[in-house]
Amino acid sequence: MMFVVWRILQYLLPFLEKEQYNLSSACRLNPENNMFKDQELQKDNVRPSQWQCLYCKKTFRSEDYLDKHMDNRHYAMLDLNSKRCLADICGAVHCDHADSVAKATTKKRCNRAAVIKNKHLCEALANECFPSKEGATALRLNEFFLRQFCDSHTCDGSAKHFPRGSGRRKNKSLYMALCLFVIILLGIFYLAVYLYQRDMNGDASSLKRLRQHPILKAQKSKKF
């Protein structure tokens, strides 16, 4: 679940970077306040069914098993000075949505009481992390947070999750596809050059052999 929280933050942090806005220590969304932050940095989702502990390089079938391993073997790496866990605000920032998309699970029946509770928590986070009294930038980000995270707390499905996207201009998949396309083009180019040179060398060799043919030599001798 903690990996999901960090993935959710990618729908927020790029916009904060653009505005050059730093979350205060009072904000529960601030990654620095998370007691599991050091452990989270040592988790690698190698592929959908494989997770790796970067402390000891052991691999696990799921994040849940890796979390248990972290608790049992690397408890000393917890930031015990922090009493906060980002998972506590999962409901407010739609961890369930990101997790269901990743696992391709079926949509559950909407719980109206939970939706109302999570929306109130979401709005509280907006005011806590982006208090309007701090100025125009905080006010803009407060409004952005409400649209990006809070509006979709509804059972009618009228509002889209994370309508502003992740804020990252570069799409990793698109970048990889472009790199692959360029590599293929280069491969075709060098293959064409190789075939052209081979044909040219072949023609030159054929012409040389033809000139060495006895009949042509005899004809040359007659001319002289």
Domain definitions of the chain by residue range: 2-34+84-150, 172-223
What is the pLDDT averaged over residues 118-143?
95
**Does the pLDDT at position 64 exceed 80?**
yes
- Predicted local distance difference test score (pLDDT) of residue 211: 60
**From 4-8, 31-35, 166-170, the region with the lowest mean pLDDT:** 166-170
Residue 213 DSSP label = -
Pairing type for strands 50-53 and 59-60 reads antiparallel
Per-position b or e across 86-121, b if 16+ CB within 10 A of its CB:
beebbbbbbbbebbeeeeeeeeeeeeeeeeeebbeb
Assess whether pLDDT exceeds 70 at residue 51.
yes
Please enumerate in sequence order all residues whose Cβ is within 8 A of that of 218, keeping only pairs 6 or more positions apart, or say none. none
Q: Check pLDDT > 70 for residue 1.
A: no
- Can you give the pLDDT at residue 147? 94
Report the mean per-residue pLDDT for the chain: 80
pLDDT higher for 172 or 163?
A: 163
133-163 confidence digits (pLDDT tens)? 999 999 999 999 999 999 999 998 777 888 8
Confidence category of residue 179, pLDDT binned at 50, 70, 90: confident
Rounded to 5°, angle at Cα 167 from 96 and 107:
20
Q: 218: number of CA atoms within 13 Å, CB side?
A: 3
